[in-house]
Amino acid sequence: MELPYIEPFKTKMVENVPVSTKEQRKQWIEECQFNLFKLSSDKVTIDLLTDSGTGAMSDKQWAEIMLGDESYAGSLSYHKLKDTIEELLGFEYFLPTHQGRAAENVLFSVLVKDGDIVPGNSHFDTTKGHIEFRKAKAVDVTIDEAFDTSVYHPFKGNLDLNKLEKVLQENPKEKIPLILITITNNTAGGQPVSMQNMREVSALGKKYGVPVFIDAARYAENAYFIKVREDGYADKSIKEIILEMFSYAEGCTMSSKKDGIVNIGGFIGLRSQETFRQASTFNIIYEGFITYGGMAGRDMGALAQGLRESAEFSYLESRIGQVAFLGSKLKEFGIPVQEPFGGHAIFVDAKKMLPNVPQKEYTAQLLAVELYIEAGIRGVEIGILLADRDPETRENRYPKLEMVRLAIPRRVYSNNHMEYVAVALKNVFDRREELKSGFTIIWEAPIMRHFTVELERIEKKDLLFSNQSKNLELVTNELEV
């Protein structure tokens, strides 16, 4: 008999899971103006808000915490991390930052200016925010297959080469500071980018004189998908695949809280000494000296170890396998999800799940709130709230996909927890016909509003009053005629 699969780790410490009643959760989420970010963690049973900084570190990572060198300049922990990044990713120059959006802030302070255009595959919220904050424009050139959750494509994160070349042809290269490849493509459902696509994007960049940069938050998961899905890579090691991926880029930003398996940290990797020198000035202004950049030495040591662990096939097989386990359970229940399953999360198609709720009423946010009320599970909306308003018209942007992301922390939950999540979502699915109205915004920030937005329910009586008003208007118009 063949031995069953086991996780490539064992538990050394446990943390109690908070439990609550449905009535308590209804009260708590209402007090938070239906914003799941505002909930305190003791009111959440299973937290799938994000996989960023929520993973469990290994014994070797905790050992690095004790070995941390906290020297202000020239820390040995810095050199350990620098050597790891050069070995794994191939970048000679490197700047530590306290997290990924800080890396974006520093790099874009050098590269992006007013009126610029940054093409890429579904820029994530902070990336787009940093671009638009500088009065530049993020242009999404993701392949069309990414926006149909039922279509199977092994690399839905790919950039559409025709869309990209159209942007490059129609704009002077001085207005395009970089092409951005996000691996994996979070906004489209944690979908990977193929090696062939990265190679071809790099070739287009060279043809038009525009450098390629990578948002590397989940680069190891992307390498895993290349190994198991792309022809010619089955016999390559994860480390070999990683080196080739980054060979097609001039630099990268990374939120190390994802595939670095740490609770804080980020970095910029660069080939150009000149770009490194310019970025160093902004790093010192915004983050700290260039050999710590807002990170403690102990955290740099833990990150160096985490980067090595995330490049192990056994770890990736376990991690991505758990995501697929949840996805398979949801499919069994008939719940519409983005397929194929992504690397770090399952994305539920809220439009298909709640067809009676119009997108303008924040369908995915309603689904996320109902899932929390049902079972204390906190997910996150990836839809109209996150898409934010157009910076010029201030009108809501309506993305093609309206989804709830269930992001799974690394090495934290068991498959029993995933079963609980699946059944809870099925319970919401079973009462979907009861859900006919969503939310309206009562307060929002001018940019990246989803983190702090305040909402209120659109009650049925409000809808009735609205319909009565429309009917009265029709009758009045007829009388005037």
Dihedral over Cα of 224, 226, 228, 229: its sign = positive
pLDDT tops 70 at residue 465: no
pLDDT in tens, 315-339: 999 999 999 999 999 999 999 999 9
Token pair listed for 119: 């093409």
- Average pLDDT for 121-128: 89
SS3 401: coil
- Kindly indicate the confidence band of residue 462, based on its pLDDT and cuts at 50, 70 and 90: low
pLDDT value, residue 467: 45
| Confidence at residue 475, expressed as pLDDT on a 0 to 100 scale | 37
**Confidence tier at 468 by pLDDT (50, 70, 90):** very low
Reading the block at residue 12, the tokens are: 């050394």
For helices 100-111 and 125-133, angle between their N-to-C axes, nearest 10 degrees: 30
DSSP state string for 437-470: --EEEEE--SSSGGGT-EEEE--HHHHHHHHHHH
> Is the distance from CB of 311 to CB of 304 less than 8 angstroms?
no
The DSSP secondary structure of 169-222, one letter per residue, reads: HHS-GGG---EEEESSBTTTTSB---HHHHHHHHHHHHHHT--EEEE-TTHHHH
Q: Is the pLDDT of residue 76 over 70?
A: yes
403: DSSP letter = E
Other C-beta atoms lying within 10 Å of the C-beta of residue 448: 19
CA–CA separation, 397 vs 15, rounded Å? Answer: 40
The C-alpha torsion from 460 through 464 and 467 to 473, rounded to 10°, is -140
Residue 470: pLDDT over 60: no
Edge to edge, the sheet with strand 266-270 lists 93-97, 266-270, 251-255, 212-215, 179-182, 117-120, 137-140
- Label residue 310 by pLDDT band (50, 70, 90): very high
Residue 325 in contact with residue 331, Cβ under 8 Å? no
Q: What does the pLDDT read at residue 187?
A: 86
CA distances 287 to 153, 259, 300, 329, 471, Å, are 40, 21, 14, 43, 58
CB-count burial class (<10 Å; 0-12, 13-18, 19+) for 5: exposed
Q: Sort 11 into a burial class: Cβ within 10 Å, 0-12 / 13-18 / 19+.
A: exposed
253, 130 contact by CB (below 8 A): no
Other Cβ atoms closer than 10 A to 37:
13
For position 166, what pLDDT does the model report?
97
Inter-axis angle of helices 100-111 and 273-286, to 10 degrees?
A: 120
Percent of the chain residues topping a pLDDT of 90: 87
For residue 188, what pLDDT is reported?
Answer: 86
More confident residue, 37 or 466: 37
Residue 238 has pLDDT above 60, yes or no: yes
What lies within 8 Å, CB to CB, of 127 at 6+ separation is 104, 120, 138, 180, 182, 215
Average pLDDT over residues 83-88: 97
Overall average pLDDT of the 186-213 stretch = 96
In the prediction, which pLDDT does 44 show?
Answer: 98
CA-to-CA distance for 224 and 339, rounded, in angstroms? 17
Per-residue confidence (pLDDT) for residue 464, from 0 to 100:
47
Task: Look at residue 167 in the predicted model and tell me its pLDDT.
Answer: 97
Q: What is the mean pLDDT of residues 19-39?
A: 97
Active-site annotation, residues: 72, 124-125, 215, 217, 258, 450
Q: Indicate whether 24 pLDDT > 90.
A: yes
Q: Which of 263, 267, 303, 260 is nearest to 283 (CA)?
A: 267
Global pTM?
A: 0.91
Residues 6+ apart with CB under 8 A from 6: none
219-229 vs 238-247: helix crossing angle, rounded to 10: 110
Q: Tell me the C-alpha distance between 348 and 327, whole Å.
A: 9
Residues 267-289 pLDDT 10s: 999 999 999 999 999 999 999 99
pLDDT in tens, 379-435: 999 999 988 898 889 999 898 889 999 999 999 999 999 999 999 999 999 999 999
Q: Which residues contact 297 (CB under 8 A, 6 or more apart)?
A: 68, 69, 70, 71, 75, 76, 77, 78
* d(C-alpha 205, C-alpha 249), whole Å: 10
Largest CA distance in the chain: 84
Q: Which amino acid is at 203?
A: A
Q: What is the pLDDT of residue 477?
A: 43
pLDDT band at residue 5 under the 50/70/90 scheme: confident
What is the rounded CA–CA span in Å between residue 136 and residue 392? 11
- Angle at the Cα of 19 (from 15 to 25), degrees rounded to 5? 135
Helix (H, G, I), strand (E, B) or coil at 66: helix
Whether residue 442 contacts residue 385, with contact meaning beta carbons closer than 8 Å, is answered with no
pLDDT of residue 460: 63
How many residues in total does the chain contain? 481
> Average pLDDT in the 233-237 region?
97
- Measured between alpha carbons, how far is 191 from 223 in angstroms, rounded to an integer? 12
